[in-house]
A and B are shown apart, each in its own frame.
Chain A
Amino acid sequence: MFALGLIGLLVRRNLIFILMSIEVMLNAAGLAFVVAGSRWMQPDGQVMFIFILAMAAAEVAVGLALVLQFYHLHKSLDADAASEMRG
């Protein structure tokens, strides 16, 4: 799952797909935490998943606001259009 999210992050050039791939990667990391927590019968893995969940919610809120700004600036969702900042 993490590898799939990373592949999606690298392959796709659409900003919404990049954000979705980041969600998949965070979800895979949380899945690893929960699997480890259930392997050793400890609640710490689920606590870490709750923290990852909060972090993903915050990240996606800011990221989607940035995507809206980007779309009104460039009229496209191509990540290559953001290369105007190079020196």
Chain B
Amino acid sequence: MQPLFYGAAAIAILSTIMMLSRLNAVHALLYLIVSLLAVAVVFYTLGAPFIAALEVIIYAGAIMVLFIFVVMLLNLGERATELERTWVKAKMYIGPMILAAILIAEFVVMLSQTRVTAHSAGVVGPKEVGAALYGPYLIGVELASFLLLGALVGAYHLGVRKREGVSKGNHVDTYERRTAARGDLVRAGTDRTAGAA
């Protein structure tokens, strides 16, 4: 377990450094996702498989999807298509893919080893965590639910006031651009409907 732990920790630190040194937000998000997955592997080696699963599902799943949605919403300018074209260079995906491949290899090695050392290592499973969470920490769970409700209401409030002012003009802008550009997708769609009719 020790070399796997140090390998995952090194990948986490390396990908975090790479995240901070990127200029583009999408590349930084890729490295941040790799960093979170590496921290999840670290949790697994530390004997916390439930927390590792939560890290992958909530951090690398939900929170990163929020970030990606905001980055996508903020790039609705005229330069969006050019930027997309420059982002989809395969060179930018090689670094995160190499780091993620190392993580997958480590995870496969761990899964092949856990048959032997499942109960000898100090694993604190989800059963103990759940018992502690709804036993002495029940008030904390309620406070966390209050916090999430407050965040939901606050984010909705901030988002709705934005939508009243700006989204109408934005929609007209994209619609005009789409009709004026007459891209290949639009033309293919009209041809197909004309042939069908």
Seen from chain A, the residues whose Cβ lies within 8 Å of a Cβ on chain B are 1, 4-5, 7-8, 11-12, 14, 16-17, 19-21, 23-24, 27, 31, 34-35, 37-38, 41-47, 49-51, 53-62, 64-69, 71-72, 77
Q: Closest B-chain residue to A66, C-beta based?
A: B158
A16, A34, A58, A60: the one within 8 Å of B51 (CB): A34
Judge whether B20 and A4 touch: CB under 8 Å: yes
In the bound complex, how far is the Cα of B140 from the Cα of A51, in angstroms? 8
Seen from chain B, the residues whose Cβ lies within 8 Å of a Cβ on chain A are 12-13, 16-17, 19-20, 25, 28-29, 32, 35-36, 39, 42-43, 46-48, 50-51, 54-55, 58-59, 62-63, 66-67, 70-71, 73-74, 122, 124, 128-129, 131-133, 137, 140, 144, 147-148, 150-152, 154-155, 158-159, 161-162, 165-166
Q: Closest A-chain residue to B73, C-beta based?
A: A68
Interface centre among A59, A67, A68 (most CB of B within 10 A): A68
